[in-house]
Amino acid sequence: MTTHVGLTARALGADRVVIAGETGETSRDTIRDITDRFGGPFEADLTEQYRAMLRNWEGKVVHLTMYGERVQDVEADVRAAHADEPLLVVVGAEKVPFDVYEAADWNVGVTNQPHSEVAGLAVFLDRLFEGRELEREWVGAERRVVPEAMGKTVEPAESE
């Protein structure tokens, strides 16, 4: 699931993922490998001190949680803030400590239903960037997929 969160962040417009917890190394390596092959820029890192990262973040913090305010109610405010400052989006696993709720500028629910942190992140990013992330150009890719009605075509990426 951590790998999917990281790959979703990359595909949908984020520029970095930082994985907290002790089992993140495999996920980080997979995400880096995908970035090497399909392009970036995108960074994948680990942290053992996510609380310090939250505390020292120079910008706004969104925490995605099914208990939060409705995304459709707060997305305009988040978008406006993101125009001026970097945004840290916290995606939790099962039990998120309450101090994360307190550290966040917004606790945001993509629906107030139980579903998937990957789905929540995906919808949040697509709304944050208003679809512009789908037009992103990838740099340093070895290969690219050619979108097509039927088939699976992968070609070498053009050199830059």
Question: For its own copies, which stretch binds (CB under 8 A), given 15-23, 43-51, 80-88, 115-123?
Answer: 115-123
Identified binder of its own copies from the candidate list 2, 64, 68, 89, rule CB under 8 A: 68
The answer to whether residue 32 forms part of the interface with its own copies (CB under 8 A) is no
The answer to whether residue 4 forms part of the interface with its own copies (CB under 8 A) is yes
The answer to whether residue 128 forms part of the interface with its own copies (CB under 8 A) is no
- For the bound state, the minimum distance from the C-beta of residue 48 to its own copies, rounded and expressed in Å, comes to 25
The answer to whether residue 24 forms part of the interface with its own copies (CB under 8 A) is no
Question: For its own copies, which stretch binds (CB under 8 A), given 15-23, 43-51, 82-90, 123-131?
Answer: 123-131
The answer to whether residue 126 forms part of the interface with its own copies (CB under 8 A) is yes
Size of the site for its own copies (CB under 8 A): 55
The answer to whether residue 81 forms part of the interface with its own copies (CB under 8 A) is no
DSSP string, the chain: -HHHHHHHHHHTT-SEEEEESTT-HHHHHHHHHHHHHH-BS-EEEEES-HHHHHHH-SSEEEEEEEEEEEHHHHHHHHHHHHTTS-EEEEE--S---HHHHHH-SEEEESSSS---HHHHHHHHHHHHTTTGGGGPPPBS-SEEEE--SSS-EEEEPPP-
